[in-house]
């Protein structure tokens, strides 16, 4: 009798396999809220580096271009501004 119960249980377990293996089981509301909060904190910590990195990269490229072409700070300011605009666009893209 116990063997039949185990066999029936095994058959039920095999037949109740999820048809969509990529679908995750539903999470408790507290866990969903915690993951959303952690994602927002990670995004908030990352976005300032995005803007600063774009400005620094544009400024450095402009600095070396100014040095190579023997100009004043024309390209440094120009490419720094372009870097700021690109960083701001990236931040707005990630937030939207």
For residues 75 and 47, what is the distance between their CA atoms, to the nearest angstrom? 25
Has residue 1 got a pLDDT over 60? no
pLDDT tens figures, 57-88: 999 999 999 999 999 999 999 999 999 999 99
Tokens coding 46: 């990352």
Residue 92 pLDDT grade (very low, low, confident, very high; cuts 50, 70, 90): very high
- What average pLDDT does range 12-34 have in this prediction? 67
Residue 7 pLDDT grade (very low, low, confident, very high; cuts 50, 70, 90): low
Question: How far apart, in Å, are the Cα atoms of 60 and each of 25, 74, 90?
Answer: 48, 12, 19
pLDDT averaged over the chain?
83
For residues 44 and 60, what is the distance between their CA atoms, to the nearest angstrom? 25
């Amino acid at each position: 009798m116990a063997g039949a119960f185990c066999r029936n249980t095994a058959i039920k377990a095999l037949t109740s396999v999820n048809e969509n293996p990529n679908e995750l089981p539903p999470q408790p509301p507290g866990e969903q809220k915690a993951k959303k909060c952690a994602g927002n904190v990670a995004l908030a910590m990352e976005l300032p580096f995005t803007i600063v990195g774009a400005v620094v990269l544009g400024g450095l490229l402009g600095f070396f271009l100014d040095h190579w072409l023997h100009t004043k700070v024309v390209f440094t300011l120009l490419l720094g501004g372009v870097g700021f605009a690109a960083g701001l666009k990236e931040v707005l893209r990630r937030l939207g």
